[in-house]
Amino acid sequence: MSSSPQPEGELLPPIDPQGAYVAEPPPPPRRKPRSILAAPGTYVLVGINCAVFLWMVLHGVSPSDPTVEQLRHFGAANARLILQGQWYRLITATFVHVGLIHIATNMWCLWNLGLLGEPLLGRWGMIAVYILTGVAGNLLSLLVNILLHDYVSVGAGASGAVFGIAGILIVLLSNKKLPIPGFELDRLRRSVIQFAGLNLIIGLATVVLPVIRIDNSAHVGGFLSGLALGVPLVPKMTSGRVRYLNRQKLTFAAAALLLSLFGYWIAQLQIR
């Protein structure tokens, strides 16, 4: 059998010994580039933190060594001011940072944990967890300051909320029904546990070696509240989007109520 020559410049499938064209395997799927909308909640949180820091610097705050008074002015937490009625500081303090290194490290952690956690929580879930666990950490810090009669110190930074996101991820990634290979789930969960454990150890070490001041109460409060938020969400993660989102709303609303009651109890404790 004679075969016609392949025209120059034209690519044809290869021919097997019987003279038939051999089907070429399909090309491997291309990895889609990460969209700017892949984790909008995380981007919004990082953007707000950076915008607040830039606003502070533009209004005369030192980017490396802000004063206590400047931090108070821009919304940092302080036991005396909160007990005088400025409870909004429990939220605003999670967006105020003490210098460039402080915000850079917190935003790096928030960025990485957010890209991992937002597909499991959704954009609004990520924002809700950030605020709820950040407030929980600041409330525990407030309680400790009251018990120590410390009405001078200020608390600021996203680290309590970052620990909260780590806490909820440790719980959510324990769900073996997620459409993720088991070994990958274990690897991701182990990395988050290592992150939280290492940073908690570093924070506790500063109690003995006070090189820098770290608010360990805010870290612990954020981490424990994150663990607690994850527990009721796990059973509904694979039961459909509507059911999962309804469980999120119920869980976050209950958490907000409990945090309000905790804050009220702290206020009454101070009065007595």
Query: What is the set of domains in the chain, with CATH numbers?
Result: 40-271 (1.20.1540.10)
The DSSP 8-state label assigned to residue 238 in this structure reads: T
φ and ψ of 187, to 5 deg: -65, -45
Identify the pLDDT of residue 55. 97
Burial of residue 140 (CB within 10 Å: 0-12, 13-18, 19+) is buried
d(CA 207, CA 105): 20
**CA distance linking residue 115 with residue 134, whole number of Å:** 18
Residues of the chain with pLDDT below 50 are: 1-2, 4-16, 19-24, 26, 28-29, 31, 33
**Helix/strand/coil for 21:** strand
Question: b/e string for 44-72 if b means 16 or more Cβ within 10 A?
Answer: ebbeebeebbeebeeeebeeeebeeebbb
Instruction: Name the residue with tokens 């789930």.
Output: 185
The pTM for the full model equals 0.84
Tell me, what's the pLDDT at 13? 45
Q: Which of 59, 58, 51, 65 is nearest to 99 (CA)?
A: 65
d(CA 195, CA 164): 12
Looking at residue 270, its pLDDT comes to 63
Tell me the residue type at 62. S
Q: Residue 58: in which H helix or E strand, if any? A: helix 40-58
pLDDT for 34 equals: 52
Catalytic residues: 159, 219
